[in-house]
Structure 1
Amino acid sequence: MNLRSILILGALSAFGPLAIDFYLPGFPAIALAFGTDEQHVQLTLAAYFLGLSIGQLAYGPVADRFGRRVPLLVGVTLFTLASLACAFAPSLEWLIGARFVQALGGCAGMVISRAIVSDKCDAVQSAKVFSQLMLVMGLAPILAPMLGGLLVNVYGWQAIFLSLTAFSALASLSVALWLPESMPATHPRLPLTGAFGQYANLFKDRVFLGHALTGGIAMAGMFAYIAGSPFVFIKLYGVPAEHYGWLFGANAAGFILVAQINARILGKRGPAFLLSRAIWVYLVAALVLLGIAGVHSEKLWPLLVPLFVCIASLGCIIPNASACAMNGQWARAGSASALLGCLQFSVAAGAAALVGVLHDGSAVPMALVISLCGIVAVSMSVLTRRLQGKRDALAARV
């Protein structure tokens, strides 16, 4: 896959994190503009998450029936129009509705970009491309809030959505000009009437499900960190709010670095091997984190070291788990990508909510959820490797 295609897919993959992180600094301004509080403004975020969950499952069968290019163009165009509607929203209710539609359009890039990689690459090449796309996933949480805050302070909250409009319009033009149809003509075009059957078959594919859940449950640990770290860093350990971004950015930098190292060593060791090793690194670091949180250290740095290792290891786990899950899906790659994304997002969102439920004024809830994610992810990884071994042995006999 050439560099231009990877850059376009990176831009498409950025729709999700950009549309979430970019407008967070605008919450107070939006609340003031509509005469409400920030708790009600958070409904716009909930609407976006709901749209992501529903939209991903819809795009998978559509991409398998009509190919990748047309649904992708429709989705990106929908995101562009919805972003414009957000910028000129006359009420909070309008903004909530527009955010839902924006998510329905934006998740096309998330789902179909994975299907395109699967169309063009084998398991090792897919893992390399996914690792390169992790660069976008790591940079977006660092840069988006800072750029969003700057736009809000200078031009107002509407500028955030106008910027998203311009970005998505440029991405749509790039897709139209330089991203050809990737689905091979020899692949059967699966009918939409069989969508539920495709998802049912994927749920029966225990190797696919195992890899998807291994990556998704590990990713859930990162969501637990995102949900719990503001309280732990700022409230519990007194880190100034303006310095929180530096700690967050340092962990994101570790994530990016490991993802790029992963891309370079995949030629020597396949994605399944690297996944099976990295997941144990994640678990050990998570258990150390839980132990330190349990003794209620008065200093922050003992927590930061194992936390950094946990987040950094995800730069190896997530792309390799995705590549292993998507390997061999071929004609149903769209549906597989959709279910993969939906499972990962749903589990991760549940982990973030669990941190809030367990809140006790310490760092233990965040560390506990991350550790539980590590234990379950390792269990899934070990089980899936055994299932894959049995499948390979059976295929060799045939």
Structure 2
Amino acid sequence: MRLIDPLVPTLAGHFARSIAQVAVMATAFSFSYAFGQPILGPIADAVGKIRTIGTCLALLVLLSIACSFAPNFEALLALRAASGIVAGGIIPIAMAAIGDRATMAQRQITLGRFTVIMIFGQMAGAACSGVIAEYVGWRGVFLMAGGIAGLALLMLTLTMRPRAGAVRRRPTLRGAIASYAAVFSNPRSKLLYALVITEGSLIFGMPPFVAAILQERAGIGPSLAGLVIAGTGIGGLIYGLSTRILVDRIGPARMPIVGGVLMAIGYGLFALPFLPWWSAVPFFVVNGFGFFLMHGTFQAQATELAPEARGSAVSLFACSLFAGHALGPVLMGTALALLGTTGAVSLFAVGIGLLGFAAPRILPMLGAAEAQRPR
């Protein structure tokens, strides 16, 4: 998911493209990830979540290896877009599988632990891709990704089994429509998905431009830029390891507010051009911790929108997040052109802070979630 971010300047130089053109590669992955979800969710509900994850992992192995042999920019862009589709059948469907296996009282805590593993992968992707690109070449990054996806497929095959007694059926258009009708029969669904699109736009507009901003400010290479971006993952790890305490002490209704404030502080400090480049690492740690405070609450609520069509509900949640993920770099690129680096980053900082305060007011469900906190 985060492989490309530290590589943007490297790929721009290799393919003789602008930074903005290469940053679109992140948008292509996210756009495909988002808009494959309405198909993948009903498929997982019909044929089984474990089987869906396994098939998508197998395809991701092949596409990642193919990326390493891409002869030109257009081929790499197309392969990354295709990778986004199949990657969308892994994390969201795994979240839905957790929803099948954990009670609501324990679900946010269980998803927090899942987040630790997921964020470790994002940290490895951001940090290791920059190092590998610097010493082996960018093609080695995609070979690494294919190998890791292969190991994940092997682990899934050896350790995971479908739930006993789960009902399986042939995927049909009528079944998919019925699943989505169940999701949208809950009036909270539209509100939650709108919040998540906004959240994704404000958070994921930044990463594709971080390497270029740091290169312009301090002349650092992709490996150090990857370290900065990986700070977001460290913040996520802190959240994941302390989820039980956070849910109990702060509560779901207040977690988005605290998260929005922390993200606004992290981005606001990064907007200051006179600070040393390494100061960006703790700023992004704060940003990552704040993001998961907000997003973890949204994520837990998504698993309860439609228990009888949980795969579809969580897939639409991921679709909304990655629609925002795809839109974010476009908005950030426009803001950078109009306002400059400091102005653009500051604007996004204000936006995410306001979103944190607005979320509990837009979603009265957060108050109900407060009552379900484990004691």
* 8 A Cα contact 1:56 1:342, kept in partner: yes
Comparing 52-61 with 284-293, greater Cα deviation is found at 284-293
- Of residues 32, 37, 50, the one that matches 2:31 is 50
Distance 1:22 1:171 in 2: 23
* 8 A Cα contact 2:5 2:209, kept in partner: no
Distance 1:87 1:305 in 2: 32
Match in the other structure for 1:339: 316
In the TM superposition, residue 27 of structure 1 has moved relative to its aligned partner by 1.6
| Aligned-partner SS, 1:89 | coil
* 8 A Cα contact 1:22 1:160, kept in partner: no
Rate the CA distance shift 1:88–1:190 in 2: closer, same or farther, 3 A.
Answer: closer
Q: 5 Å matches for 1:45-124? A: 45-124=26-105
Match in the other structure for 1:37: 17
Q: 5 Å matches for 1:309-320? A: 309-320=286-297
* 8 A Cα contact 1:24 1:145, kept in partner: no
Comparing 125-134 with 73-82, greater Cα deviation is found at 125-134
Letter in 2 for 1:276: A
- Of residues 336, 339, 364, the one that matches 2:343 is 364
Residue-by-residue CA offset, 1:42-77 (whole Å, 9 max, x unaligned): 565444233212222210010111111222222111
Q: Give the paired residue count.
A: 364
| Aligned-partner SS, 1:340 | helix
Match in the other structure for 2:153: 172
Distance 1:57 1:219 in 2: 18
* 8 A Cα contact 1:79 1:106, kept in partner: yes
In the TM superposition, residue 137 of structure 1 has moved relative to its aligned partner by 4.3
In the TM superposition, residue 338 of structure 1 has moved relative to its aligned partner by 0.9
Residue-by-residue CA offset, 1:300-340 (whole Å, 9 max, x unaligned): 79999887544322232222220122126322111111100
Comparing 335-344 with 118-127, greater Cα deviation is found at 118-127
Comparing 335-344 with 168-177, greater Cα deviation is found at 168-177
- Of residues 197, 202, 205, the one that matches 1:221 is 202
Comparing 48-57 with 185-194, greater Cα deviation is found at 185-194
Match in the other structure for 2:2: 17
Distance 2:332 2:261 in 1: 20
- Of residues 144, 164, 172, the one that matches 1:163 is 144
In the TM superposition, residue 103 of structure 1 has moved relative to its aligned partner by 2.1
Match in the other structure for 1:6: none
Match in the other structure for 1:395: none
Comparing 315-324 with 284-293, greater Cα deviation is found at 284-293
Q: 5 Å matches for 1:284-295? A: 284-285=261-262
| Aligned-partner SS, 1:343 | helix
Letter in 2 for 1:383: I
In the TM superposition, residue 136 of structure 1 has moved relative to its aligned partner by 3.9
Gaps of 5+ in 1: 1-15, 393-398
Matched, 1:199 2:176: no
In the TM superposition, residue 128 of structure 1 has moved relative to its aligned partner by 1.8
Letter in 1 for 2:301: C
Letter in 1 for 2:345: M
Distance 2:127 2:318 in 1: 27
In the TM superposition, residue 116 of structure 1 has moved relative to its aligned partner by 0.7
Residue-by-residue CA offset, 1:225-284 (whole Å, 9 max, x unaligned): 43565566554xx34525545544445423321332124454x46xxx623212222344
Rate the CA distance shift 1:371–1:44 in 2: closer, same or farther, 3 A.
Answer: closer
Q: TM-score, normalised by structure 2?
A: 0.80
Rate the CA distance shift 1:192–1:72 in 2: closer, same or farther, 3 A.
Answer: farther
Could you tell me the percent identity over the aligned residues?
20
For the pair shown, the structure with the greater C-alpha radius of gyration is: 1
Letter in 2 for 1:370: A
Comparing 47-56 with 66-75, greater Cα deviation is found at 47-56
- Of residues 285, 303, 322, the one that matches 2:299 is 322
Q: TM-score, normalised by structure 1?
A: 0.76
Gaps of 5+ in 2: none
* 8 A Cα contact 2:8 2:212, kept in partner: no
Distance 2:269 2:65 in 1: 47
Q: 5 Å matches for 1:134-173? A: 134-173=115-154
Letter in 1 for 2:202: G
Residue-by-residue CA offset, 1:206-227 (whole Å, 9 max, x unaligned): 3234344445533443224435
Distance 2:264 2:143 in 1: 44
